[in-house]
A and B are shown apart, each in its own frame.
Chain A
Amino acid sequence: MTALLTFQLRRVLRSWEYLFFTVVLPALFTVFFTKVFGGQAGSGAEYQDYARTYMVSMMAYGGLGAALGATIRLSFDRASGWLRQLRVLPVPARDVVVVDIAVGMLLVLPSLVVVALVGRFVNGVQLGLGTWVGLVAALWLGSAAFVALGMLLGLALEQKAAGAAMGIVSVVLAALGGLWIPVEVFPAGFRTVAQATPSYWYAELGRGVVGDGGTVLPVLALAGFAAVFALAALAVGARRPLHAVAG
């Protein structure tokens, strides 16, 4: 299992696009949004609010992108025949699924930590040590909902659709969930849409941990999304075995 985990981690990390979109881009956005909006702040306290909010939003953006990117790839392994090949090797496809979930969870951490470091040392976000640890831990656990969504998409979509989904789904979730532009400036209708996305609740969870709201509702919402996605993934997986070539 360890050998398979190392193997799969190395494969994902070979993709420079993956590292760019899940670590570099969220880190750059953290600086960019904070300078643009925080620059108009009237006071130090107001700047802190902007810097903290955008850091949490970008941690959520990076985290969900990393979780989705690492797991939707399952579709490529089906298309290439690798999952089928594994069926005739003593590497059970079930292990591959378990390892892909582990890879998805593990690769969320670099995004979260890098954006947090940029928030702290570039933008000067001030939080207590316990809050920093709690923030990273909460967003790490919360990413399970997106790992489940990624597994669902990886199982359900054909290679081309999966390739497109890797880019589009995280962008749509980030935009609609208010990670780029805060929900407060959304029109009322869009605000309702935002509250129907897992990304909104993911960021809300982070904001709750840093003291900008409660954590109970976000935890319940994310757990609900995770359960729905996981059940749907199991249903799709049962209908379409991993070693099936197509259809």
Chain B
Amino acid sequence: MTPALEIRGLTVRYGGTTAVHDLDLSIARGETVALLGTNGAGKSSTVNAALGLFRPSAGTVQLLGREPLAAVRSGGVGAMLQHGGLPSESRVGEVLRLVAGRYADPWPLADLVTTTGIDGLLDRRTEQLSGGQRQRVLLALALAGTPPLLVLDEPTSAMDVEGRQAFWTTMRDLADRGHTVVFATHHLAEADAVADRVVVVDAGRVVADGSSAQIKSRIAGRTVRFGCTDRAGLAELPGVTSVRGSGDLVELATTDAEATLRALLTTRDRLPDLEVAGASLEQAFLTLTGGTK
């Protein structure tokens, strides 16, 4: 079976800057893949080129074994764009019916409405939707043709926390039903919660590619913070890779938070304001790219 998405040697240049460098990516059918990266990492450029929104400077893209535009026209691909939108002066139901009417095998409207959580919005004017509702309507449009492949570019950026959770629950359901889901995000937690494969993109290149657990273990550094004035011996504690912090607050970067904490608790009577936190995505990138940035 042809892959759901096959990118070879993709290079995207805007003027003098290169957003994507010779990127290869193959996604099999049925996978749920997160393209994880900070803003400007080249995620959107990759997604937009994959959808045929512009012609890349070099490289080829195949969606379900076809050229991007042909795949979109055939209804094989549903997409949510970062800068996509809904028409003004129209109702949600009108837009949905217009789009559904274009497909040979549309997703039954009533079920589509329930699946995407837009019950009660069909008679709403598009101008009156909240950010989260808009995204859900755009998701419904992306799903209208029952596409085997879904491509989403930062779909939750306009949503509040509850909206995000509901949205990713929907995504997991879709993945369970056999849809291939590819989404770009800059939230490690989102990638971790939804994707079974995480592709980390930085400066237009793939810097890591593996299961969510593998990626997390590579970037799973923790930060242990607490108040202390005597830093003697901290650097030698198990797992600790660096000692930072300012004033009375110490920040230990550790690869094994549990071992570090055990050692701390046996050697110190008090650990005021103790806090253990995950490494930020920025820290994770420093690890993955070897701090070369």
Contacts and interface: CB of A to CB of B under 8 A. Distances in A.
A88 B68 CA distance: 9
Contact of A85 (B74, B94, B138, B145): B138
B89 A88 contact: no
Contact of B74 (A3, A4, A12, A90): A90
Contacts of B268: none
Nearest to A2: B101
Nearest to A87: B53
A141 interface: no
A85 B48 CA distance: 12
B79 A84 contact: no
Nearest to A15: B89
Interface string A41-84: 00000000000000000000000000000000000110011101
Nearest to B79: A88
Contacts of A77: 87-88
A10 interface: yes
Interface string B73-86: 11101110101111
A7 B98 contact: yes
Nearest to A92: B73
A3 B103 contact: no
A11 interface: yes
Interface in B166-213: none
Contacts of B75: 90
A89 interface: yes
B146 to A, nearest CB: 13
Given A3-B98, A4-B98, A81-B83, A89 B90 contact: no
Interface residues of A, number: 23
Contacts of B103: 90
A82 B72 contact: no
Interface string A14-41: 1100000000000000000000000000
Contact of A80 (B85, B94, B144): B85
Nearest to A245: B83
A4 B53 CA distance: 22
B163 to A, nearest CB: 19
A70 to B, nearest CB: 12
Given A3-B98, A7-B94, A12-B89, 17 more contacts: A11-B88, A81-B83, A81-B84, A82-B85, A82-B88, A84-B53, A84-B81, A84-B84, A85-B86, A85-B141, A87-B52, A88-B51, A88-B84, A89-B72, A90-B72, A90-B102, A90-B103
Interface of B: 51-53, 72-75, 77-79, 81, 83-90, 94, 97-99, 101-103, 138, 141-142, 144-145
Interface of A: 3-4, 7, 10-12, 14-15, 76-77, 80-82, 84-85, 87-92, 243, 245
14 contacts: A3-B98, A7-B94, A7-B98, A10-B89, A14-B90, A80-B86, A81-B81, A81-B83, A85-B86, A87-B52, A88-B51, A88-B79, A90-B75, A90-B145
